Chains A and B, each alone.
Chain A
Amino acid sequence: MVNSIVKKIVNGDVRIAAKLIRDIDDRVPGTREVLKALHRHTGKAYIIGITGSPGVGKSTIVNQMVRGLRTNGKTVGVLAVDPTSPFSGGAILGDRIRMQGHSLDEGVFIRSLATRGQFGGLTQSTRSAIDVLDAMGKDYIIVETVGVGQDEVDIARNAHTTVIIVVPGMGDHIQAIKAGIFEVGDIFVINKSDRPEAEKTLADLKAMINISDKKFTKEGWEPPILMAEAIGGRGIVELLDEIEKHRKSRKALSRDSMISHKRALARFDLTAMIKSRLVEEALNHITNSLDFKKYLDWVIDGTKDPYSACDELLAAKLNFNGDMKS
């Protein structure tokens, strides 16, 4: 069963691959066994992460990048992530709207994903979906993230090249997030650069990269800043060129730094995976228990404070004892 699924995916079966990504998302039992068997067929694709605030034109840029890569005869997988409503748990996945030019192209597989829950769900199921597309033999996999939060940093570590998109006139915004996702950028793109203040945004970005050159200049790579108007296709050739340059610069790394790079990535990947499973299993174990309901009632009616309830539940359910470091 597992073997036949793996074989079909490696042979590029779109429907089976799509179904597997669905099962990953829905945590269907047995899916993990398929992923285990599939893993040895991965590692060939070049993974590009695209991130930036909502509305900066990520999907439009991805659409144009796909066009460029297809012109060069490359096959492409796209994972487009949109946010899950924290209230209903539902989502509207609308990124395909900007990528309709490729909907009939057999060399392109586009898949929308919702961020879903709080267990690092984005990172883990997106990570597994990358494996599926990789095993299908896609030359490039483009991961478009929602543009906010810690997940962006995580997904950047799964990508070989991370592209950060900004638009002019968001100076304050740049200040606000520069300690977050900006640190993981390998390439910066100023999209909608026909707008006023594009030059100012360019100057701001340049200043940021120059000031903290250690942070941004990684192993001899200084992140370039490109101007683009993705809707008309301007700046896309340059972007794909820079991605190739970055790819080559990674290949040119010394053996030692390559090994330490690989080790750091593997460490991050394994830690993230353990964390996700651990939190999910432990949390389910506790919140599905009768004790949890009992403690919840006590907290509500004031019999117990939430700190004691937390410590006692962890002690009872997971053998956590002693002072919790707060």
Chain B
Amino acid sequence: MSNKPKIKVLISVIGLDGHFTGAEIVSRFLMDSGMEVVYLGIYQTPEMIVNAAIQESVDIIGISSHASNYEQIGILMDLIKKSGLNDVPVMCGGSIPEQHARALKDMGVSKIFLPQSTSQSIINYITSTVKR
């Protein structure tokens, strides 16, 4: 059990968004599926998220968004490119309107999980995206 490489996920809420319940539920079921989750909590800036992703050497980043601060996600995507973290996909989840979801995809977000996404669909996406 301890020998196998484990998928390491960073979960964070971004900007002035205090809705942590979704992020914590996701963290919990990812742990229950055998992943290691670095949970950053709320009020994280794009810089804080990128620094943590580098120091923790994570495989994938998950951003929980319930407060329409999509600009922050855009800044995050730019920063990720600038920092050479292109091999770390970013997924977003939350109450994201369709036109914003499309914009996020254009910014390079690899996957959007809308409300009513199942936990299994998120787990499946991570395991199929991260090669470990």
Q: How large is the interface on A (under 10, 10 to 19, 20 to 34, 35 or more residues)?
A: 35 or more
Do B31 and A88 have beta carbons less than 8 Å apart? Answer: yes
The answer to whether the Cβ of A15 comes within 8 Å of any Cβ in the partner chain is yes
The answer to whether the Cβ of A173 comes within 8 Å of any Cβ in the partner chain is no
Q: How large is the interface on B (under 10, 10 to 19, 20 to 34, 35 or more residues)?
A: 20 to 34
Task: List A residues 1-45 near B (Cβ within 8 Å).
Answer: 14-15, 18-19, 21-22, 25-28
| A28–B56 alpha-carbon span in the complex (Å) | 16
The answer to whether the Cβ of A284 comes within 8 Å of any Cβ in the partner chain is yes
Q: Report B-chain residues with C-beta under 8 Å of the C-beta of A87.
A: 32
The answer to whether the Cβ of A93 comes within 8 Å of any Cβ in the partner chain is yes
When the two chains form the complex, which single residue of B33, B34, B36 contacts A93, counting CB atoms closer than 8 Å? B36
Q: Report A-chain residues with C-beta under 8 Å of the C-beta of B35.
A: 90
Give the secondary structure class of A's interface. Answer: mixed
The answer to whether the Cβ of A92 comes within 8 Å of any Cβ in the partner chain is yes
Q: Which of A106-114, A230-238, A314-322 contacts B (4 or more CB under 8 A)?
A: A106-114
| A112–B36 alpha-carbon span in the complex (Å) | 10
Do A89 and B40 have beta carbons less than 8 Å apart? Answer: no
Do A18 and B57 have beta carbons less than 8 Å apart? Answer: yes
Do A91 and B36 have beta carbons less than 8 Å apart? Answer: yes
Known: A103-B48, A104-B48, A117-B1. A96 touches B38 (CB 8 A): yes
Report B18-53 CB contacts with A as 1/0, cut-off 8 Å. Answer: 000000000110111111111111001001100110
| A14–B5 alpha-carbon span in the complex (Å) | 21
Do B55 and A110 have beta carbons less than 8 Å apart? Answer: yes
| A91–B6 alpha-carbon span in the complex (Å) | 10
Do A26 and B38 have beta carbons less than 8 Å apart? Answer: no
Do A90 and B30 have beta carbons less than 8 Å apart? Answer: yes
The answer to whether the Cβ of A121 comes within 8 Å of any Cβ in the partner chain is yes
Task: List A residues 112-142 near B (Cβ within 8 Å).
Answer: 112, 114, 116-119, 121
Q: Report B-chain residues with C-beta under 8 Å of the C-beta of A19.
A: 57
Closest beta carbon of chain B to A275's beta carbon, Å: 14
26 inter-chain pairs at a CB distance below 8 angstroms, sorted by A residue, are A14-B55, A15-B54, A18-B54, A18-B57, A19-B57, A26-B5, A27-B5, A28-B5, A88-B34, A90-B35, A90-B37, A92-B37, A92-B39, A94-B41, A96-B40, A96-B52, A97-B39, A100-B41, A103-B47, A111-B55, A111-B56, A116-B2, A117-B3, A118-B2, A121-B2, A280-B3
Query: Which residues of A does B touch, CB under 8 Å?
Result: 14-15, 18-19, 21-22, 25-28, 84-85, 87-94, 96-97, 100, 103-104, 109-112, 114, 116-119, 121, 280, 284
